[in-house]
Amino acid sequence: MSDVKDNEIQKLSQDEMKKILKDTRQKLAQQQQLIKEKKLPVIVLVEGWGASGKGTLISYLIRDLDPRFFQVVPMKMPTKEERRKPFLCRHMEHIPESGKFVFMDSGWMEETVFDVVDGKCTKKELKQRLSDINVFERQLVDNGYLVLKIFVDVSKEAQNVRLQNLLEHKDTSWRVCKRDLDQQEHRSKYEKAFGTFIKATNSEKAPWHVIDSSEKALVELQVCHLLVDGIEDAIKRNEIPVEIPENPFPLVQMPKLADVPLDKSLTRAEYEQQLKAAQKKLKKLHNRIYKEGIPVVIAYEGWDAAGKGGNIKRLTSALDARGFVVNPIASPDVHEKNRHFLWRFWTKLPKTGHVAIFDRTWYGRVMVERLEGFCSDNDWQRAYNEINEFEKNLTDWGAVVVKFWIHIDKDTQLERFNEREATPEKRWKITDEDWRNREKWDQYEVAVDEMIAKTSTQTAPWHIIQSKDKMYARVQALNVVIDAIEAKMKDCNY
Amino acid sequence: MSDVKDNEIQKLSQDEMKKILKDTRQKLAQQQQLIKEKKLPVIVLVEGWGASGKGTLISYLIRDLDPRFFQVVPMKMPTKEERRKPFLCRHMEHIPESGKFVFMDSGWMEETVFDVVDGKCTKKELKQRLSDINVFERQLVDNGYLVLKIFVDVSKEAQNVRLQNLLEHKDTSWRVCKRDLDQQEHRSKYEKAFGTFIKATNSEKAPWHVIDSSEKALVELQVCHLLVDGIEDAIKRNEIPVEIPENPFPLVQMPKLADVPLDKSLTRAEYEQQLKAAQKKLKKLHNRIYKEGIPVVIAYEGWDAAGKGGNIKRLTSALDARGFVVNPIASPDVHEKNRHFLWRFWTKLPKTGHVAIFDRTWYGRVMVERLEGFCSDNDWQRAYNEINEFEKNLTDWGAVVVKFWIHIDKDTQLERFNEREATPEKRWKITDEDWRNREKWDQYEVAVDEMIAKTSTQTAPWHIIQSKDKMYARVQALNVVIDAIEAKMKDCNY
């Protein structure tokens, strides 16, 4: 965790230090242009003891930076509402766009350590969080982020002196909070919790840098140095494709699309009767998941004109309007494209007890983005695992995750396209892009087969829904959702 | 508030009603395409008594709508954090994009009425809020929104029956909250507060529709009708330019840019001494505004290469990194362009005690958007007043609002452009667009003169900062900010 360079720095004379500091600061200022050019997003996470000088350190680091290219995010403990989302949600929300810095004044470490100390996080939950954090940080790095993690250390005695100094003046006394005093009183508890956290999350791609804060100038020099080196390394690293791990998730065996029959159908009478029954059931379940605080994520993918819209509608009409949201996913906006590809989905996750439906999803990465070349080969090849990890995070959190591929054949699509063009009030549904995509049907089929094969995890398998008969598809999708929620209820003994 | 049509509806037979209802629903479903085409954003605000059936009504309205084109927003009372922003902030956040519906399950009415009843809103604050709401709604309508406001009424007796019914079954009893029971106990207090609110915000452009909820079918028909008619009317209305009111804000007399001298400068020694002194002062003030909870909004506009970036940097280096944010404003993203032009600024306002700096601002509307034809003439002509209202909202809230025009002449700009092109590490700062804008200098000068004349309100005047000498400009801007904060402190007896 400590660098050889740091040891070298400590041996320097005052004058030598001043010179190095000046050079390093100048280099950092110059690097701004570089990170802009190379589209490098930089996260500097500053964690540490109360009154250890985290704020001062950040102020120091940003002094020569153009304020348009960085943001400082001071994180407090999560509110009750924030605790209704996955732990990492609110941290993910603040990651920078490419070419920009975010300095986080504490983050996922402080939240976890304080929760542990406060008895708000069981051992099992801690284990889960640590594992989630490692995945989160590794994904950021793999997606081109520099994640620089600093822990500002201070001895119990030194912290005490600092707190007393702050308390003595009315201009600064309000800066001392209960937590700081608690750290004095229960030092060893915090030490242990910080230590466990650092050990468990000290990864190769995002290592911890523990900095002793006793000499301010030294802290500044060390961190400035780390940042400058980190940026250089990250830019070099980003030129090399990321190694893709073997899939570690147990998978469900799935058929190829070509082998999926499309013969199922319902009569209008069967449809009406079965739809009504399923909707009634789902309505009741929606009440129950709300009461039990179970989040539900439903992902819709499928061929154009397969009937996703109508299918979703039959689902939502069974739900209380206040308890669900449908997220239509188009191509990403600029601020979305400039972040981790899952960012825009992380920020649309439901609260506990709520349902989020995605009309097109994060699987765009391995379909349209792959086929249109909107991302690199390494990006989409890596995405299967990243997506599996994302969904694992959701199911571990307690969410029901249901994924639909709404399926039709090529002839059915043509029929529906033609019908749409012939019907004035449906014409808006069909665009030139749909026709262009249709031309690539075979390429898409290869991509979809690979996607379904590689991301049908046991906890979040794909459901291929035959939709040549839309009525059958609607009832079928409803029943899959019902089964998934009921299985969850049973699992949790609700 | 009640329509003749409603009275007509009440006289209908069951069969007639069914037919009308069917037709109206069908029309609503068809209108989806229309609002998409016409880019109409639709806000349906459903307010009313507890257990009056607001949720059921919304569920009914959305039943035939494509879930990709609407969102239901259930609003709770604001959290402590949300109360640190202007009252309307969190409501503004949820307005729809053009071509989409948002159904709000209670909103700014409920928040206000409950605060009044709970004694959390003084008479003076109420007056302020009501006035803000009227401006907010009128601006939405003027910017093309349909704002349909429904109040679902229920008698005390009927509410009681509904609450008892809910309480009887364990599946529904959790739906009854303390507030509902409080409304039973203190009916007249709520009645008065609802009444006052409705009366004060029943404007021509966004009138209230009070619907008696005793007959469910009738409620649904009435509201469906209102929505269908509202959409038709809004589309027609949006074809006509909005009448622009006389400026109601007291203005400060400002010079034309051509008459602003550019002769001020500082020696390096003066600069360093004055900068240091000003930064020290601002640093102390930053502590104080944090303690007193005063929000500060600083807006930077100016010619390209006038030195905005460096100016902002000298300001931010005096601030605690955790207490400010710099918002660089470029051309709007798609999701921003599809909303009220002030939306992206509303959502970037500071919390109490924090500083938000805007590097380019909402004034883009009356400069680049005007000159490049990115909005209609009526849009930018109307914007002076809309911006004055927006800033008035901020100062009424208690914010310090400082607006800078960083000023140079045409020759100085050319010099700096050439210097940027000649200096490798500055070259990224200069783009083809800068050269193109330069060609339009004279047109910009007309627009800026008009902008400064029309938006230098007494509460938020422009400060034209001479920046031929950047050192002078930096010290000057710092001093303006210091003066503004100190004046505020004095005003509030801090």
Task: Output the CA torsion B176→B182→B184→B189 (10° steps).
Answer: -140
Dihedrals φ, ψ of B210, to 5°?
A: -90, 120
What is residue B4's predicted lDDT score, i.e. its pLDDT?
39
Q: Do A203 and A319 have their domain in common?
A: no
Residue A406 in 3-state DSSP? strand
Best residue in A37, A54, A59 for a mutation probing chain B (most B CBs within 10 Å): A59
Report d(CA A26, CA A449) in Å as an integer: 52
Please write the tens of the pLDDT for every residue from A61-120. 988 888 889 999 999 999 998 999 999 999 999 999 999 999 999 999 999 999 999 999
Nearest to B316 among A67, A321, A322 (CB): A67
How many residue contacts between A and B have a Cβ separation below 8 Å?
Answer: 96
Report d(CA B141, CA A453) in Å as an integer: 50
CB–CB contact A309 B68 (8 Å): yes
Structure tokens given for A474: 């609607």
* Positions of chain B with pLDDT lower than 70, given as ranges: 1-10
Nearest to B322 among A74, A79, A357 (CB): A74
Q: What is the CATH number of the domain that holds B59?
A: 3.40.50.300
**B392 lies in a domain?**
yes
Q: Which of A78, A150, A153 is nearest to A111 (CA)?
A: A78
According to DSSP, the β-strands at B42-48 and B146-153 are: parallel
**A357 lies in a domain?**
yes
Residue B405 in 3-state DSSP? strand
Q: Which of A51, A1, A487 is nearest to A208 (CA)?
A: A1
Q: Do B275 and B166 have their domain in common?
A: no
Question: Of A204, A237, A270, at which residue does a domain stop?
Answer: A237
C-beta separation of A287 from A280 below 8 A: no
Q: Do B211 and B267 have their domain in common?
A: no
Number of domains in chain A: 2
Question: What string of DSSP letters covers B407-453?
Answer: E--HHHHHHHHHHHHHSGGGGGG--HHHHHHHHTHHHHHHHHHHHHH
In chain A, residues with a C-beta closer than 8 Å to the C-beta of B67 are 309, 312-313, 316, 326, 357, 359
Helix (H) or strand (E) holding B357: strand B355-359
Q: Do A229 and A269 have their domain in common?
A: no
In the stretch 426-445 of chain B, residues with CB closer than 8 A to chain A read 428
Question: Of B203, B237, B271, at which residue does a domain stop?
Answer: B237
Nearest to A59 among B33, B320, B428 (CB): B320
A357 close contact with B: CB closer than 8 A: yes
CB–CB contact A68 B326 (8 Å): yes
**Cα nearest neighbour of B80 on chain A:** A79
**CA dihedral for A10, A15, A18, A23, sign (positive or negative):** negative
- Would you give the DSSP letter of residue B351? P
**B465 lies in a domain?**
yes
Nearest to B66 among A36, A309, A320 (CB): A309
Report d(CA B168, CA A408) in Å as an integer: 47
Helices and strands: H and E segment counts in chain A: 20, 10
C-beta separation of B114 from B9 below 8 A: no
What percent of the residues of chain B are helix, what percent strand, and what percent coil, each to the nearest 5?
A: 55, 15, 30
**A251 lies in a domain?**
no
In this prediction the pTM is: 0.86
CB–CB contact B309 A66 (8 Å): yes
Question: What string of DSSP letters covers A259-273?
Answer: G--------HHHHHH
Q: Do A208 and A89 have their domain in common?
A: yes
**B250 lies in a domain?**
no
The ipTM (two decimal places) reads 0.76
Query: Across chain B, which distance is largest between two alpha carbons, in Å?
Result: 89
Best residue in B102, B284, B290, B316 for a mutation probing chain A (most A CBs within 10 Å): B316
CB–CB contact B62 A287 (8 Å): no
What is residue A6's predicted lDDT score, i.e. its pLDDT?
56
Report d(CA B307, CA A250) in Å as an integer: 58
**B242 lies in a domain?**
no
Instruction: Dump strand ranges (E) for A60-108.
Output: 70-74, 101-105
C-beta separation of B194 from B1 below 8 A: no
**B454 lies in a domain?**
yes
In chain A, residues with a C-beta closer than 8 Å to the C-beta of B53 are none
Report d(CA B19, CA A290) in Å as an integer: 36
A67 close contact with B: CB closer than 8 A: yes
B35 to chain A nearest CA, in Å? 12
CB–CB contact A321 B428 (8 Å): no
* Three-state secondary structure string covering A3-19: CHHHHHHHCCCHHHHHH
Q: Do A194 and A275 have their domain in common?
A: no
Nearest to A335 among B30, B59, B333 (CB): B333
A309 close contact with B: CB closer than 8 A: yes
* Positions of chain A with pLDDT lower than 70, given as ranges: 1-10
B314 to chain A nearest CA, in Å? 9
In the stretch 215-274 of chain A, residues with CB closer than 8 A to chain B read none
Best residue in B27, B66, B290 for a mutation probing chain A (most A CBs within 10 Å): B66
Report d(CA A397, CA A395) in Å as an integer: 5
B326: Cβ contacts below 8 Å, ≥ 6 apart? A67, A68, A71, B312, B316, B357, B358, B359
A255 to chain B nearest CA, in Å? 30
Q: Do A80 and A133 have their domain in common?
A: yes
Question: Of B237, B267, B302, at which residue does a domain stop?
Answer: B237
Q: Do B140 and B264 have their domain in common?
A: no
Q: Is A131 exposed, middle or buried (0-12, 13-18, 19+ CB in 10 A)?
A: middle
CB–CB contact A105 B321 (8 Å): yes
- The structure tokens 């090529």 sit at A410
A63 close contact with B: CB closer than 8 A: yes
What is residue B446's predicted lDDT score, i.e. its pLDDT?
98
Query: Across chain A, which distance is largest between two alpha carbons, in Å?
Result: 89
Residue B101 forms beta bridges with which residues? Answer: B42, B70
Q: Do A369 and A483 have their domain in common?
A: yes
Report d(CA A244, CA B236) in Å as an integer: 57
**Cα nearest neighbour of A34 on chain B:** B425
Q: Do B62 and B155 have their domain in common?
A: yes
What is residue A4's predicted lDDT score, i.e. its pLDDT?
38
Q: Do B193 and B308 have their domain in common?
A: no
- Would you give the DSSP letter of residue A65? S
B272: Cβ contacts below 8 Å, ≥ 6 apart? none
Nearest to A33 among B67, B359, B425 (CB): B425
In chain B, residues with a C-beta closer than 8 Å to the C-beta of A33 are 425, 428
**B244 lies in a domain?**
no
A231 to chain B nearest CA, in Å? 17
A81 close contact with B: CB closer than 8 A: yes
What is residue B458's predicted lDDT score, i.e. its pLDDT?
97
- The structure tokens 């065996």 sit at A253
**Cα nearest neighbour of A104 on chain B:** B322
Q: In whole angstroms, how far apart are CA B90 and each of A69, A356, B75, B334, B347? A: 26, 21, 9, 20, 8
B325 close contact with A: CB closer than 8 A: yes
Domain extent at residue B441? 257-491
Q: Do A214 and A267 have their domain in common?
A: no
CB–CB contact A105 B322 (8 Å): yes
CB–CB contact A321 B66 (8 Å): no
**Cα nearest neighbour of A317 on chain B:** B63
